[in-house]
Structure 1
Amino acid sequence: MARVSQAHLDARRRQILDAAALCFARNGFHATSMQDVLKEADLSAGAVYRYFSGKEELIAAIVQEVLGEVRAAFEAAALQSPPPPPDSLVAGVLSRTLALRGNLTLDGVPAFPRLVVQVWSEIPRNPVLAAVLAEGYGNVRAAWGRIVEGYQDAGMMRADIVPDHVARTMIAAVLGFLAQQSLFGPAPVEILQDGLRALMSMQDTRTRA
């Protein structure tokens, strides 16, 4: 019997995850059945269950993958001295995250923002997913905190600001932008980048007066 290559196994796993992501984005977690995933992936039950035991493992794997990519990107930025400014850093990471899932579309519209909102809606009733997301969110916050410390060390940001406060704000900006795309339609990442750049350029003229 011929041995299956690791590349083939990785491609099959990718196929299943992408199919599940489309199904969850289209109908939500609870309205999606494993039969829906099998049909979307065009695979047999045996082929899918070889990798994942069910919907719980599928959605957890999708969330872990995305958060892992984002964390790795911000951790790499934190190692730079100084780190890239927030507007270009956020835009770059978000653009890469969306580009990696550019093949996931529903009626020609990117599915990833809708998937993010569907994951949020599942968290209150799914403790396993909530734990996965909490861990990933904590890792991204920590990475952003180190980025802020890099800004402060370089004199780019006030030293009296708590790094975690900035971290939470930047994450909120990205998640809010994705929510807007899910609710109101696609928008280029440059909009978020320009908005952040404008906020970064503000000066409080009231103190001068």
Structure 2
Amino acid sequence: MPKISEEHRAEKRQQIIAATLRCVERDGFHKTTMAAVVKESGLSAGSVYTYFRGKSDIIRAIAESGLTAVAEAITSFTPDPDSGDAAPPPERAIEAATQHLLDLSEELGVDLPRIALQTWAEAARDPEVRDLMAPEARRIRAAWRTYAEGAVAAGRFHPDADPERIAIVLTGLLPGFILQRIIVGDVSPKIYGAGLSDLLAAPSQRATQ
């Protein structure tokens, strides 16, 4: 029997993950079954179960791969401390992070904000799902903390500001964007970033804008 290459394995795993995302987007997280994933993927049940033992394994793979890649997006605009470059202002950072989420949605052909909301709802109901998603949430917060450290050093925040507390707030802004995007529908990354700029600007700064 020919040996399956790592490239082939990665391709099949991604095919199954993509099928799962489409099922969740269409039917909701709780109603997405392994039978639905098998049908959506176009693979045999045996093939799917070769790569994943069940839905929890697929969720874990999605979380561990950082599919939304928000942490990586945040890292990309956080300059290396040795580069001498300054961290961008928070409004540009949050605009870039939210725009990345929408760009990736388009690339994958699924509504990642809607999928994220359904996943959070399931995590609130199911401790196992919550535990699977928690590491990715921590990676996103850690990436924001690294950004915050650079932003404090660049004078974007008060010099005595706590990067960890800033990271907690910035992490919370992402779900806020997603929720309003789905429920209200009139929020864009540019508007969201501009709103944060207005919120943080001192009265004297607003007067000169």
TM-score category (smaller protein): 0.7 to 0.9
Q: Indicate if the aligned counterparts of 1:22 and 1:104 stay in contact, CA closer than 8 A.
A: no
1:74-113 superposed Cα distances (whole Å, 9 cap, x missing partner) = 34415354222222222223323332332555xxxx5211
Q: Who is 1:12 aligned against? A: 12
CA positional deviation for 1:165: 2.0
Identity %: 33
Give 1:194's aligned residue.
194
Distance in 1, Cα, partners of 2:39 & 2:27: 14
Match of 2:106 among 93, 102, 109: 102
Matched position secondary structure for 2:133? helix
**Number of residues paired by the alignment?**
200
Contact 2:64-2:136 at 8 Å conserved across structures: yes
Report the aligned-residue RMSD: 2.4
Counterpart contact for 2:101–2:112, Cα < 8 Å: no
Question: Which whole-Å CA distance do the structure 2 matches of 1:183 and 1:26 have between them?
Answer: 17
Q: 1:68 to 1:30 in 2, by over 3 A?
A: closer
For residues 117-132 of structure 1, what are the structure 2 equivalents within 5 Å? 117-132=117-132
Structure 1: runs of 5+ lacking an equivalent: none
SS at match of 2:158: coil
Task: List aligned pairs for 1:120-159, cutoff 5 A.
Answer: 120-159=120-159
Q: 1:163 is aligned with what amino acid?
A: P
Partner residue, 2:207: none
Which contiguous aligned blocks of 4+ residues in structure 1 show a shift greater than 4 angstroms? Answer: none
Distance 1:60 1:182, change over 3 A: farther
Give the TM-score normalised by structure 2. Answer: 0.82
5+ residue gaps, structure 2, are 205-209
Measure, in 2, the Cα distance between the counterparts of 1:131 and 1:12: 25
Q: 1:89 aligns with which of 82, 86, 93?
A: 93
